[in-house]
Each structure stands twice: as C-alpha cells, then as structure tokens.
Amino acid sequence: MDEQDDIGVPQQPVAEDPLAQQAPPEFVNPAEEPVAPQPAQTARHGVSVGGAIGIAITASLIVGSIAGGVAGIAGAWYATHTDTGSSGTGTIKVLPAETDEPVVAAAAAAAPSVVNIDVSGTPVSAGQDGLPGEHPTVPSGGSGSGVAYKTTDDDGTYILTNNHVVENATTIVVTDASRERMKATLVGTDPETDIAVIKIEKKLPPIKMGDSSKLLVGQVVVAIGSPFGLTQSVSSGVVSAVGRSLPNSLSKDKSSSYPLVDVIQTDAAINPGNSGGALVDRLGLLVGINSAIYSESGANDGIGFAIPVNNAIRFADQLIEGGIAQHPFLGVVGRDIDAPLVKEKNLPVQEGAYIIEITKGSNAEKAGLKPEDIIVSLDDEKILGMDDLLLQVRRQKIGAAVTLGVYRDGSLIEIDMTVGIKPDNLESPSQDSTGTP
C-alpha cells in the first residue's frame, strides 16, 4: 500500500518534467499562520429546482487550506516563471491556444485574478435556523469566490461575485492568490441577476474578458474558485448548454429572489464555495460567473450554471456607477400554454405566452396589450412559453423598440412597443403566473 502524508494523499512518483522539478506548494499549518477567528457557520439556501438546485456557496470555512491551491499556483508558475511575491501583480502570460495543455493555459492566465471571499453576517439567535431555544447566539457566515474585474481610481480593485455570497454580510474578507487577507467593502448588489460588486484597497491583476455570446456547446471551459474553502481550485469540462432559463417558478422556495435566467450550463465541477468564481475559456478569458449547481447530493453532479459574462458586466458597471441596477421590463404576467388551457379557451395555438394580467402604467399597457393575448414572437425570436419571453426581454436594452407577434381573438397581429424599466416596488405576480418580464 502506498505511504500517505499527513492529509491522507498517497505519495506519487516524481514526474520528469519542468513542473515536477519545481518545489511543490507547501501546506499551511493553521497553528503557524495567524488568521482572524472565524464565526460558526450556518447554511445558506438557494434556488431548488425540484429540490435540487443550490447556490454554490459553502458555509464550511476551511482555515489553513491548501496554500494557493496546487492546480492554480502550478499553472501560473508554468506560464510566467515570475515570482509575484506579496503584490500579486506579476506579469500574466497567456499560452497559445495550440498548446497541448489548454487547462494549464487557462489556469495560468486567470487564477491570479480569482479570490476567496469569507463573510460573516447577523448573529443567529436561539430558536432561529434550527437552534434550540436555550442555545447561545451564534455568528453566521459563509465562503465563496470572486473575480478581479477593474482597477479603481485609487489603485484598488473592483471584484465581481454573486449577490448570494455577500448578501446581508456585515464583514467581508478577501484572500487573494498570494494568500494575503484583506477587508472588502460592498459597492452594490443586484438580487435580480445574482451579481454583486465589492472593493478592496489592493491592486490585483484584472481578468481578461471574453464574449459569452460566442460560446459554443461542447467548448472547453475551466472553473476556478474555492469549493469547500479550498482556494484556487481548478476544474475543467465543456459548455453543456447555453441560454438556460430556470426561473423562480421552478423553485420550492417561492420567496426566493434568485432567478436563473439565460445562464450557461457546464459539467466542469462546481461545488459549494465556487459561487462568484470564474468560468473561463481555454485562453483564460472570462466567459461566466459560477453561480449554482443542480444536485441531488448537495455537491457536484456534473450540472453547474454560470451567469454569462456579457450580462454580469453590464449590471456590474451599473452598480459601480450608481450602486443600483435597472432591468428591462415589458409589464405582463402570464403562463405557459398547455393542453387543458387550449381546450378550455379554444386557443388557436399550442404554444406561446398566455397573458393573464397587464401591469398598470407599464409599457405593455401603453402599447395596448391585453389579458388573453398570446405572445408567440419577439422580433425574430419564437416565444414558446413564459420562459422564452422572460429570456428574450432580459436580453434587450432598456428603451429598445421591439415587435411582438400576438394572437388576439384568433388572429395574428403585430404590436410595436418599447422595452421599459422594471419598477423597484413591483408586486409579486398572481399564483398561477410563471414570469413577470
């Protein structure tokens, strides 16, 4: 039987290659590295599709985890051969796409821009979140990931992450690739898209941006983050699907404000703690922000979801500029068409978005949309149900002119309208609706 070291990893023979000849990363001893006391953790709950969708944030902080992460640090050294020291601002070199090690190239380019985020929140009192009535108050907290996005005017760094990572946090601590810990301040959050921006005073290398609109199914992607608190972890897979929409209506938690609309599906391993981390292509260009998993076990089952970078930065820029984000909005409440509804209403089509209610004062009302209208197209895109309508509206810019194909009283008509802004005080839709684009 192979001998094992002190963390139970079998000893491996030394490979004869440039990487193996370098000194391996050291493991951090919690007793040797002073770290601020971490609060006891409580679970955070995310979206559940059939009880299985969960946000990829871990509530199990691991103090003294692998130093820098074996995969992430090895990849960066292979690409740069540059000691970044404590500044974390060494030269980042993207390996050519034709390299035999595309995952190494991606990790080398992107890993220095990915951080770990530890948060603590409002203490949980006795009788809350399952605590016994006599139990003393316990601090709450969790761990996630983030991506260096832009340099601030004062040489700090804006970091992209998920809203659910920092939501309600009272303290945010960022650990960069050089293992330096620093406090962060919250710039803004957007529960609608699950995007948040935080700020640190240290200058980190911003990640290079890709174009999520050009992603192809089957394309190689790499996820980088802190699953279960293991910082700088790298996993790889492919794009399984694009344009997925798993909105609140599929969640058992109807009070959740966390929608999954127009997201990337990937089989790259994403686990609790990966939330807010990077999904990059083979050149290390950011294509998505890891956000959620579909799992029966609570861990990776090969189905993860990431917010497309084009959407993420659109709303992140709004948060940086003004602290709030605005969302495109039509002003309709509706449902999918199914066989019983077709029979009951004697509908002329088998698919489409059946309008139940028009939001007062909305652009939909101004354009003349009415209850019982059936939306079957938006510009050149077919609308097969409310999920399609929600997806296509989210992709529009506020103020954009669109043409709706609508069945009314058995006849197909066209209605021109302008995409509006979603009100902040919008009331929840009626129980039988499946979306509020």
**Mean of the per-residue pLDDT values of the chain:** 76
Taking residues 199-227, what's their average pLDDT?
96
Q: For 108-146, write each residue's pLDDT tens digit.
A: 999 999 999 999 986 655 455 454 555 454 456 788 999
Contacts of 340 (CB under 8 A, 6+ apart): none
Beta pairing class for 328-329 and 304-308: unpaired
Place of tokens 């993420």: 312
What six digits make up the tokens of 244? Answer: 């997925």
Q: How far apart are CA 276 and CA 293, in angstroms?
A: 12
Please give the pLDDT value at position 3.
41
13-27, 144-158, 178-192, 269-283: least confident range: 13-27
SS3 call for 262: strand
Specify the higher pLDDT residue, 80 or 406. 406
Where in 176-285 does DSSP place strands (E)? 181-190, 195-200, 220-225, 233-246, 260-266, 278-280
- Model confidence at 56, pLDDT cuts 50, 70, 90, reads low
Specify the higher pLDDT residue, 421 or 245. 421
CB 332 within 8 A of CB 368: no
- Model confidence at 96, pLDDT cuts 50, 70, 90, reads low
Please give the pLDDT value at position 168.
86
Please give the pLDDT value at position 134.
53
Architecture per CATH, domain 328-421, reads as Roll (2.30)
Judge whether residue 350 has pLDDT over 80. yes
- Model confidence at 223, pLDDT cuts 50, 70, 90, reads very high
Could you list the active site residues?
164, 194, 275
Please give the pLDDT value at position 94.
56
CB 373 within 8 A of CB 367: no
Q: How far apart are CA 221 and CA 141, in angstroms?
A: 30
CATH topology of domain 53-322: Thrombin, subunit H (2.40.10)
Domain ranges of the chain: 53-322, 328-421
Helices (H), strands (E): how many in the chain?
7, 21
Please give the pLDDT value at position 93.
54
- First-to-last CA distance in the chain? 60
Taking residues 301-329, what's their average pLDDT?
93
Specify the higher pLDDT residue, 228 or 90. 228
Specify the higher pLDDT residue, 269 or 87. 269
Q: How far apart are CA 18 and CA 56, in angstroms?
A: 35
